[in-house]
């Protein structure tokens, strides 16, 4: 299946350039070759940065009326929508997402967010400050005031991971460009196509030359972006370990950084919870995209009075999970991204068993799937909260059940983590759940399933080793701007 019109090129400043080298990108479901993807050289990364810098410093884009940028990004999103079926096929093949996940979550949610971001960009760019009366040296009073102006940060290096690549590419590029920034996007080497297709779409939408580039590559390309003084902001999604390296690389140039990093989020199940609904939520917390999601609730804190029933409900549900090629619409659970991810999962299964956790289900590769990086969804009970399984991000399909005896203990266990990205509480007492949510140290908490969607106006991000800064909504849009105060005498 041919996905790209320029399969041997990278996108620099609105122009396609032959790549320095090529690298195989494989389908994680069957290990077949998808594309010999272009890999940019250091010189090409430098050229992309230079194009973005020139377009920001000398071009019109940062100074255009917001309505003009909104119209341009609406054309861009319309052009994305025209290729929806093609992009969903690409997400399934490249990221290994099931067809339902690719359609409704990996494509539908970011497009919903992006359309809302275009609307939010219409907010006033100038905010008046209150008038102040101040005694002056002449014995009178000075009438003074000012305004706060939001202006684009500058050149943005957007670095995205392999698990939700289209989702995160759109979530970084659209608000950055709307704010008036110029962007260099670097995708994961595992999933370059879901970035490169955006270059084709930028051409179709007629975006101005220079404001958007896409460079491919691995560590070297990323380090060039995070250390170059011409880059004003690094917007990164990935692991906490890589995030720490990026922070160090950006430090010499005092670069502004927004990072959404790892997670080990807790799902708290109180004794009065709807057991089936809570168990279904728990199932999704470690089987969605094979556990390859930073905000997934892989740590389940369950009241000991109902823990046996909860674990049994989960075990029964796991028996009905259909594992297979995600291109099959009836499949609900596909492969991990690469063999390294499967080996890491296997290592954590061994670690958990060595720590005394009880294996309830899974813990092995499925039969009959000899090609592809499949691993059965795996559930452990009797997990200690201070164990490695409970504290370290596996990024694989392992759920850990931890018992507790009262609300205070549940809150303490949830907070006893280096991460703080998301969380969830199931309880018939929504008021008590809300009180508990206020005390959990994390970027977000869903009560009884939350809003049923990822809210487009809600800021998303974490604390502690889950990063800092926010994405989506007005807060996410503001990350790509800085505030300038202009003060003056009114009289």
Containing H/E element for 241?
A: helix 240-250
Given a cut of 80, is residue 210 above it in pLDDT? yes
What are 366's two structure tokens?
């499925």
Average pLDDT rounded to a whole number, residues 256-263: 97
How high is the pLDDT of residue 20? 84
Quote the CA–CA distance of 114 and 104 in Å, as a whole number.
14
The strand ranges marked E within 32-140 are 33-39, 126-128, 132-135
Angle in degrees, 0-180, between the axes of helices 66-82 and 165-178, rounded to the nearest 10: 160
> Nearest to residue 266, comparing CAs of 414, 90, 480, 58?
414
136 DSSP assignment: -
How high is the pLDDT of residue 239? 96
pLDDT category of residue 491 using cuts at 50, 70 and 90:
low
- Altogether, the residues listed in the chain come to a count of 491
Given a cut of 80, is residue 490 above it in pLDDT? no
pLDDT in tens, 264-280: 999 999 999 999 999 99
Give catalytic residues, as residue numbers: 260, 294
- 94: how many CB neighbours lie within 10 A of its CB? 28
pLDDT category of residue 5 using cuts at 50, 70 and 90:
very high
Q: Across the strands, what pairs with 182?
A: 155
Given a cut of 70, is residue 435 above it in pLDDT? yes
pLDDT in tens, 50-103: 999 999 999 999 999 999 999 999 999 999 999 999 999 999 999 999 999 999
Q: What is the mean pLDDT of the chain?
A: 97
pLDDT in tens, 382-431: 999 999 999 999 999 999 999 999 999 999 999 999 999 999 999 999 99
- 200: how many CB neighbours lie within 10 A of its CB? 18
Given a cut of 80, is residue 2 above it in pLDDT? no
pLDDT category of residue 444 using cuts at 50, 70 and 90:
very high
pTM of the model: 0.96
What are 359's two structure tokens?
């294996």
Sequence-ordered list of residues with C-beta below 8 angstroms from that of 432, at least 6 positions apart, any chain: 270, 407
Structural domains of the chain, ranges and CATH numbers in brackets: 9-261+468-488 (3.40.605.10), 266-455 (3.40.309.10)
How high is the pLDDT of residue 42? 95
Exposed / middle / buried, residue 364 (Cβ in 10 Å: 0-12, 13-18, 19+): exposed
The answer to whether the beta carbons of residues 303 and 349 sit under 8 Å apart is no
Dihedral sign, CA of 385, 389, 395, 396?
negative
């Amino acid at each position: 299946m041919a996905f790209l019109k320029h399969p041997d090129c990278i996108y620099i400043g609105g122009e396609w350039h032959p790549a320095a080298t090529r690298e195989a990108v494989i389908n994680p479901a069957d290990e077949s070759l998808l594309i010999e993807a272009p890999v940019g050289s250091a010189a090409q990364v430098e050229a992309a940065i230079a194009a973005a810098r020139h377009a920001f410093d000398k071009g019109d884009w940062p100074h255009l009326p917001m309505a003009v940028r909104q119209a341009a990004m609406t054309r861009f999103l319309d052009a994305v929508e025209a290729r929806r079926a093609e992009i969903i096929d690409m997400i399934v093949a490249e990221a290994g997402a099931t067809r339902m996940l690719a359609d409704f979550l990996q494509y539908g949610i970011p497009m919903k967010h992006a359309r809302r971001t275009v609307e939010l960009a219409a907010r006033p760019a100038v905010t008046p400050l209150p008038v102040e009366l101040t005694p002056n040296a002449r014995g009178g009073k000075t009438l003074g005031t000012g305004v706060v102006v939001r202006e684009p940060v500058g050149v943005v290096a957007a670095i995205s991971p392999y698990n939700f690549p289209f989702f995160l590419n759109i979530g970084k590029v659209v608000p950055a460009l709307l704010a008036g920034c110029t962007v260099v996007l670097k995708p994961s080497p595992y999933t370059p196509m879901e970035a490169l297709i955006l270059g084709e779409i930028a051409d179709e939408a007629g975006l101005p030359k220079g404001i958007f580039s896409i460079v491919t590559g691995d560590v070297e390309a990323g380090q060039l972006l995070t250390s170059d003084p011409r880059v004003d902001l690094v917007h990164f999604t990935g692991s906490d370990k890589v995030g720490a390296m990026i922070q160090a690389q950006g430090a010499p140039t005092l670069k502004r950084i927004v990072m959404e990093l790892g997670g080990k989020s807790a799902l708290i199940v109180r004794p009065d919870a709807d057991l089936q609904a809570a168990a279904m939520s728990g199932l999704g917390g470690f089987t969605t995209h094979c556990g390859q999601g930073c905000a997934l609730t892989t740590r389940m804190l369950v009241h000991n009075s109902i823990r046996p029933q909860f674990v049994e409900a989960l075990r029964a549900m796991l028996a009905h999970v259909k594992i297979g090629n995600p291109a099959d619409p009836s499949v609900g659970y596909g492969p991990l991204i690469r063999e390294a991810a499967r080996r890491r999962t296997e290592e954590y299964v061994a670690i958990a068993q060595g720590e005394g956790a009880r294996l309830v289900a899974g813990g092995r590769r499925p039969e009959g799937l000899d090609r592809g990086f499949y691993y059965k969804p795996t559930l452990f009970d009797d997990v200690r909260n201070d164990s490695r399984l409970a504290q370290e991000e596996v990024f694989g399909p392992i759920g850990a059940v931890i018992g507790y005896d009262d609300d205070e203990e549940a809150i303490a266990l949830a907070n006893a983590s280096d991460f703080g990205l998301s969380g969830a509480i199931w309880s018939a007492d929504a008021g008590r759940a809300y009180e508990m949510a206020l005390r959990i140290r994390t970027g977000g908490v869903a009560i009884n399933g939350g809003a049923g969607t990822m809210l487009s106006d809600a800021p998303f991000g974490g604390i502690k080793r889950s990063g800092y800064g926010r994405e989506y909504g007005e807060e996410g849009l503001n990350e790509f701007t800085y505030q300038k105060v202009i003060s003056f005498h009114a009289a």
